[in-house]
Amino acid sequence: MLIYKIFRPDEWAAFQADGQTLGAPVDLADGFVHFSTREQAAETAAKHFAGARALVLLALEAEGMGEALKWEPSRNGALFPHLYRALRLDEVIWAKPLPLVDGAHRFPEGMT
């Protein structure tokens, strides 16, 4: 199962340069890296990245993250994937632009 992470351009550049990341400021504050499922990603973008341009959407394989990935209740009681360790660049399956079109982020078709 693929899970998704949205980064701002500077966060993505730092991740690429370092080869690993503890995430964005919200991740650092909460003590884990936040992810979304396919069904949750659009709401995450609207809630936390409204109006943001030049975002990057990463896809990662949940099963490959081992026991450090926990599914925990969050927004409206839905289970969200949270990673309790650094995210490694080699875990990224793909990275694609997440353009802002007419005020909403346009996700890649199929997100697979």
Query: What would the DSSP string read from start to end of 80-99?
Result: EEEESSPEEGGGEEEEEEE-
Instruction: Output DSSP code: residue 19.
Output: S
Residue 76 buriedness (CB in 10 A; 0-12 / 13-18 / 19+): exposed
- Cα–Cα distance, 105 to 54 (Å, whole number): 10
Instruction: Check residue 112 and give its pLDDT.
Output: 53
Mean pLDDT of 12-20: 98
pLDDT band at 35 (very low <50, low <70, confident <90, very high): very high
Instruction: Check residue 27 and give its pLDDT.
Output: 97
Instruction: Check residue 111 and give its pLDDT.
Output: 78
Which H/E stretch holds residue 27?
helix 25-30
CATH 3.40.640.10 fits 2-100, yes or no: no
> pLDDT tens digits for 36-57?
999 999 999 999 999 999 999 9
Amino acid symbol at 53: R
> pLDDT tens digits for 50-97?
999 999 999 999 999 999 999 999 888 899 999 999 999 999 999 999
